[in-house]
Amino acid sequence: MAAKKEQRLLVSPISGHAFNADMSKVIICDTTNIATIYQQDAKGIYTKETELTKHADRVKSVDWAPNSNRIATCAADRNAYIWNLNAETKEWEPSLVLLRIERAATYIRWSPKEDRFAVGSGARLLSICYYDEEHDWWVSKHIKKPIRSTILCCDWHPNNYIIAIGSCDFKCRVFSSALKELEDKPEVSGWMSKLSKFGTLLAEFDTSEGWVHGVKFSPSGDKLAWVSHDSSVNVVDMNSQEKVFRCLTKSLPLTTAIWLNETSVVCGGHDNYPLLYNIEGDKLAHGVRLDINEKKAGAGMSAMARFKKLDDLGTDDKGTTVTTTHLNAISELRVTKSDEGKVKQFSSAGMDGKIVFWDVGVLASTITELKI
C-alpha cells in the first residue's frame, strides 16, 4: 500500500476543501466565487458533479457537516450560506444566514454537534450562528472583544461549547460559545473552570511575531496547537496554560495544523510538504518531513516530463527539480479517517490544485519518529 495518493483537480490554487461522511464527495473552493462538488467514481477518482454559485465574490472557506449532510460556505462578499440537498430534485439549495458583518468572511467551521457554526471575518469579530426555527433562518451572535484584527482560523473544542481562534493581531484566543438560546449547559474543564456566558474570553496566548494561520484542539480537547507566520509551532495544555511549548522552525511559514494523537501534530505550509512535531517530555521536538519522494534531483527529463513541468511550474529548467508531492504551498490539512482519537489518514489541499491522501500507518512503517 502506498503512503500517499494524489489527484490534481484544478490548475488553479485550492484554498479549502471538505469531505462528506463517507468521503464519496469533496467540495473545494479556489480563487473564484464558485464552490465545486466532486463525486468519486468506481476507480476512486473525483470528477466534477455540480457547482454552488450563490456567492458574488471569492469563496474563502467551506465545511461539510458529516451527520446532517449540510454544507457551509463563506466568501469575501460578506455572506455565508448553508446548503441542503433536496431529496426530490437532487439539487443543493442555499439557506439564508444573517451574519451582519461589514467585511469579508474568511473562515467557517461546523461545531461537533452540528447545531451551530462559526464564521471568522475581517470585521474583527467572530459570528456564532445557530438555527432560528420560528423564522426559518440562521442567525448569529457576535464575539468582538478583545479581537483587534482579521480572524484567519478557528476550531471547535470536542465539547461543542468552546472555540479557539487565530487572528492577525498575533493572538490565539479561546472563547465560550454557550448560547442561552439553545439552553447550553457545558461541563467545566481546564478551559472553562466555571460556567461562562457567551463570549467570555477563557484564554489568550501571544505569538508576538506573526499572524496565527492555523489552530487546532487535540482529540481530547485538553491541548491546543497553533501555527503562525513567524514559522513557529505552539502547543499548550489546558491544565498548565502559563507554559507554552514553542518550536521555532527552519521552514517557511506554516498555515495549517492537525493532531494525529495526543502527542503528535502535523503541520503544512509554504514548504510544500507536511511536517511532524512530537511532544517529548517538556519540549516540542523539531519537525520531521513526512513527504518521502524518490525523485532524483539530477535525473534527466523526458519530453513528457518537460511538458508536465511547463504546465505545473511555467518552466522546464532542469536544475530546478521539485521533489515534493505538492508543487506549491499546502493550504489546508483535514483528518479523513480516525479511530479512538488516533488519525489513520489525512488529506492535504495545495496551491498547485492537488489533493493528497496520506496513510499514517504506511508512513509510520518508514518514519521512526511517527508514533501511532
pLDDT at 10: 94
What percent of the chain has pLDDT above 70? 91
Q: Within a domain: residue 295?
A: yes
Distance CA 211, CA 286 (A): 21
Q: Are strands 25-29 and 16-19 parallel, antiparallel or unpaired?
A: antiparallel
Local confidence band at 208 (pLDDT 50, 70, 90 cut-offs): low
Query: Span 323-329, mean pLDDT?
Result: 94
Q: How far is CA 111 from the centre of its chain?
A: 13
Domain range for 286: 4-366
pTM more than 0.85 = yes
Residue 329 is assigned to a structural domain of this protein:
yes
Rounded Cα distance between 365 and 371, Å, is 9
User: Cell 489533493 appears where?
Assistant: 355
Residue 180 scores a pLDDT above 60: yes
Q: How many domains are there within the chain?
A: 1
Does any domain span residue 371?
Answer: no
297-314 tens-digit pLDDT:
444 556 776 666 666 666
Handedness of CA 173, 176, 181, 184 (dihedral sign): positive
Average pLDDT over the chain reads 91
Q: Residues 52-91: pLDDT tens digits?
A: 999 999 999 999 999 999 999 999 999 999 999 999 999 9
In a domain? residue 372: no
Q: Map grid coordinates 456566558 to a residue.
A: 197
Report how far residue 90's alpha carbon sits from residue 85's, in angstroms, rounded to the nearest whole number: 6
Q: CATH code at 216?
A: 2.130.10.10
